[in-house]
A = this chain, B = another copy of it.
Amino acid sequence: MSERALQIGLAGLGTVGTGVYETLCRNRELLQARTGIPFRVKRVAVRDIHRKRDVEIDPELLTADWRDLVEDPEIDIVIELIGGTEEAHRLVEEALRAHKPVVTGNKALLAEFGGELFRLSAETKTPLYFEASCGGGIPIIQSLQSSLVCNYVRRIAGIINGTSNYILSSMERKGVSFEEALAAAQRKGYAEADPTLDVNGWDAAHKALILAMLAYGTPLSPENISVYGIERVTPTDFRFARELGYNIKLLVVIRHHGERNALELRVQPSFVSHKHMLSNVYGVFNAIAVHGDIVGETIFYGRGAGKNPTASAVIGDVMLAMRDCRHPEHHSGFHPYTKQLSLLPQEETVTPYYVRFHVADKPGVIATIAAELARYDIGISGTMSSARREDGEGEDTCDLVFMLHACPWGKLCEALRALRVHEGIGPHPAVFRIETLNEEA
């Protein structure tokens, strides 16, 4: 312990930054014992150095300019927790150019500029760590980089947005609507005032892009991927799902199609069998199922967000960075194995489906739908209907659910389009993919 202490520069003292600072102080003895490396936080960059804070911090440490970290020759490691993409992009870029390893938890930054930043990291031989960018405290990134390194990843399926999982959990358990569940989540602090990116699937999509980059080395463009949020999930669908043996989860699915040199990447609320562990992930928890060719199915579960869980991931990376720092020529880093993969067009992705039509309750409707599906060569594995109800205009209607065998999404869309012209069949059926994820002994 007589070595010079490693000096850490922390940029950002929001929720996670505060958690990181507090934990580095509180659990210092543990960390130094386990790593054998002394360290200290030398500088903390904040937007407003005069603001009153929840954490006790020596004002001398504070600076309003993150360049004070990047340009300080004594600082060995920079932690980026300022959020956003523009300023954070500059910060990470300049830190890497200054040969300071960077730890970040900024998923939006990596989803947008990951390809470029990882190239810069390789060029400058300066590692960029990002465990906290996906799955909060869940050690998914380091596991993919290290313990599971020998695996070709066949499939990743995950619940990686805590807010939407909290909302879906409330809907399932309490039978409330999306709007009610969202409002309750906001009251409890599990959803932000502007929950857009959480509920429309894009936060999960950003994380999925990071996982895909890691597993396949393929920088995918956010524009081309298929992303659906949870805004249109209804209590009716939850009731049918339960009866059919499923739960509804906002799922990220990444699947490698070796024979086509293609990657399937999509985000949507999906039906997950009650038998699969992912169906039992509730509240703000996240879980990521990784299927590797050697290891088989593994699942990582934990708190996907929040001050301390995310701080735990950041500090795990900081300690890795400290070990690497001791030997700058030693790049413990991970180079994604890259084969040129194209993105499988959404129309060609294949799953079974649940389709719920709102129909007039009269003879012939089932026959019409079944015939149209048959015309598109789509098999039906089962049907189910709700009790009839009166629609307020004197007509009896009911919900009619079709469980469909696996077929390409494009074909399903064609069939649904063709059904629109038929009288008595509501034009906007609820469609959910049924994910087949099971591997069990």
Contact = CB atoms under 8 A, between A and B. Distances in A.
Interface in A22-62: 23-24, 27, 29-31, 33-36
Contacts of A329: 327
Contacts of A369: none
Contacts of A336: 34
Contacts of A330: 323, 326-327, 330
Interface string A249-289: 00000000000000000000000000001001111110100
Contacts of A287: 299
B296 A299 contact: no
A313 B142 CA distance: 13
B308 A295 contact: yes
A253 B309 CA distance: 22
A345 interface: no
Nearest to A294: B312
A285 B34 contact: no
Given A143-B143, A294-B309, A334-B34, A315 B284 contact: no
Nearest to A289: B301
Interface stretch (A147-155, A388-396, A423-431): A147-155
Contacts of A142: 142-143, 146-147
Nearest to A132: B147
A141 to B, nearest CB: 8
A421 interface: no
A139 B352 CA distance: 32
Contacts of A315: 149-150, 294
A335 B143 contact: no
Nearest to A28: B150
Contact of A298 (B27, B302, B334): B302
A183 B31 CA distance: 48
A215 to B, nearest CB: 10
Contacts of A367: none
A143 B312 CA distance: 11
A45 to B, nearest CB: 21
A271 B294 CA distance: 32
A178 interface: no
A332 to B, nearest CB: 5
B312 A33 contact: no
A435 interface: no
A303 interface: yes
Interface string A95-136: 000000000000000000000000000000000000100000
A270 to B, nearest CB: 18
Given A298-B137, A441-B284, A27 B143 contact: no
Nearest to A287: B299
Contacts of A334: 34-35
Given A35-B149, A131-B147, A137-B298, 20 more contacts: A27-B150, A27-B294, A33-B337, A146-B316, A148-B316, A149-B316, A162-B441, A277-B277, A277-B301, A282-B440, A284-B441, A294-B308, A294-B312, A295-B302, A295-B312, A296-B302, A296-B308, A296-B309, A323-B332, A327-B329
25 contacts: A23-B294, A27-B152, A27-B293, A29-B337, A33-B338, A35-B149, A35-B334, A139-B139, A139-B143, A148-B312, A149-B315, A150-B312, A166-B441, A190-B441, A277-B280, A277-B281, A277-B301, A285-B297, A285-B440, A294-B309, A294-B311, A296-B309, A297-B302, A298-B303, A301-B301
